[in-house]
């Protein structure tokens, strides 16, 4: 897409990552994660909803180890295109993390506020290890715990698709586009 396209009343500027590019990178990340753990590591993949759900689904199918999946909901966006900076933990399923290898799966790391809030909360639950896997990282600085696995360094644009949204729209797109 080289020109602006209308979808749902909004202009999408360009496709930043195609569906094929995303699929290749997610498979690579799954292999990388598989190489870091053993079958006996009691792996828990903890997705942050809603943005990570498509990425998480594809990622866990690429991990060649026994694992369990759970979810948390943390929000720092209202109806705008910039983080409010106020991270709210909306849903915490409180899975047992004691002694487990935990991977937090995030759609995008921007300000680092979400991870700064969640990592200490989850670390208090005594996991064996606690790592972060992010599809996108904007590298804006200030992140307390950097993701161990990053799919792509993202441009400083507002991105939608492949789980990322604007006002709950665009999550269904198979690619990531600039809004």
Please give the full DSSP string across 91-160, using - where no structure is assigned: EE-----TT-EEEEEEEEESSSHHHHHHHHHHHTT--SEEEEEEEEE---S--SS--SEEEEEPPSS-EE
Residue 82: inside a domain? no
Does residue 75 have a pLDDT over 90? no
CATH number for the domain that contains residue 120: 3.40.50.2020
Provide the pLDDT confidence category of residue 113 given band limits of 50, 70 and 90.
confident
Name which residue leads in pLDDT, 1 or 147: 147
For residue 9, is it within any domain? no
Report residue 127's pLDDT band, with 50, 70 and 90 as the boundaries. very high
Name, of 89-93, 142-146, 149-153, the range with top average pLDDT.
149-153
| Position 3 confidence tier, pLDDT thresholds 50, 70, 90 | very low
Enclosing domain of residue 45: 16-77+100-178
What's the mean pLDDT in 140-162? 89
* Residue 137: inside a domain: yes
141, part of any domain: yes
Question: What's the pLDDT at 1?
Answer: 39
* Least trusted range by pLDDT, from 18-27, 36-45, 71-80, 107-116: 71-80
Q: Does residue 155 lie in a domain region?
A: yes
Counting the structural domains of the chain, the total is: 1
Predicted confidence at residue 82, as pLDDT, reads 53
In this structure, is residue 84 part of a structural domain? no
pLDDT at 91: 56
Q: What is the mean pLDDT of the chain?
A: 86
* Number of C-beta neighbours around residue 59 at 10 A: 24
pLDDT confidence bin for 5, thresholds 50/70/90: low
Under DSSP, is residue 39 helix (H, G, I), strand (E, B) or coil? coil
Structure tokens, 4: 């602006």
Kindly state whether residue 148 falls inside one of the protein's structural domains: yes
pLDDT value at position 115?
85
Residue 43, number of CB atoms within 10 A of its CB: 24
- Tally the C-alpha atoms within 13 A of residue 12's C-alpha that lie toward its C-beta: 21
pTM: 0.85
Report yes or no on 160 lying in a domain.
Answer: yes
Tell me: pLDDT of 45 over 90: yes
Instruction: Summarize pLDDT for 55-65 with one digit per residue, the tens.
Output: 999 999 999 99
Q: How far apart are CA 82 and CA 105, in angstroms?
A: 21
Query: Contact at 8 Å (CB) between 94 and 70?
Result: no
């Amino acid at each position: 897409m080289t020109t602006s396209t209308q979808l749902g009343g909004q202009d999408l500027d360009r496709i930043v990552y195609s569906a094929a590019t995303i699929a290749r990178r997610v498979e690579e990340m799954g292999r990388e994660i598989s190489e870091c753990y053993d079958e006996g590591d009691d792996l828990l993949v903890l997705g942050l909803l809603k943005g990570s759900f498509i990425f998480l689904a594809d990622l866990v199918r690429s991990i060649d180890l026994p694992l369990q999946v759970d979810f948390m909901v943390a929000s720092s966006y209202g109806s705008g295109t910039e983080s409010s900076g106020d991270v709210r933990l909306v849903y915490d399923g409180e899975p047992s993390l004691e002694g487990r290898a935990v991977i937090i799966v995030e759609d995008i790391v921007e300000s680092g506020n979400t991870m700064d809030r969640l990592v200490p909360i989850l670390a208090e639950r005594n996991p064996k290890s606690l790592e972060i896997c992010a599809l996108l990282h904007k590298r804006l600085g200030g992140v307390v715990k950097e993701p161990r696995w990053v799919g792509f360094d993202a441009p400083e644009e507002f991105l939608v698709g492949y789980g990322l949204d604007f006002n709950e729209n665009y999550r269904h797109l198979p690619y990531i586009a600039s809004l």
